[in-house]
Amino acid sequence: MSETATLAGIKVMVIDDSNTIRRSAEIFLAQAGCQVILAEDGFDALAKISDYKPQIIFVDIMMPRLDGYQTCALIKQNAQLKSTPVIMLSSKDGVFDRARGRLAGSDRYLTKPFTKEALIEAVEQTLKLVLNPPAAVSS
């Protein structure tokens, strides 16, 4: 199955204060068939999320006004949005940064600069988990 067929029509939001990163992600995702919604920061994203209802959200960690951790936490605290997968984007790749992302509620972590392949793979893997969640382990 081609990536275009797999991702056709999937709504993906990219939140990043860097125009270069937003545009790169937009081009890569659009080429794969995704509908792309762009936001410059957390406040911009929160204003757009209810209108566009993205199925996956990429959020940069280091942004002015409302950083990625805060944005992710606000998304995950909203009853209608908490099941929406959030993938953190960061140039920081330390254990602390990844752990802080998890604590905020992120589902995945992708380091910048990213390749088209890494971005598409993150979307595909996240969709697989959403469509086929792992069986709950009973204790």
Task: Give tens-digit pLDDT for 106-115.
Answer: 999 999 999 9
The fraction of the chain above a pLDDT of 90, given in percent, is: 73
Residues 10, 55 contacting (CB under 8 angstroms): yes
| Banded pLDDT at 93 (limits 50, 70, 90) | confident
Mean pLDDT of 44-57: 94
Global confidence as pTM: 0.90
DSSP string, 18-70: -HHHHHHHHHHHHHTT-EEEEESSHHHHHHHHHHH--SEEEEESS-SSS-HHH
44-63: average pLDDT: 94
- Give me the mean pLDDT over the 89-100 stretch: 87
pLDDT at site 3: 44
Q: What is the pLDDT of residue 135?
A: 64
Task: Give strand pairing partners of 35.
Answer: 11
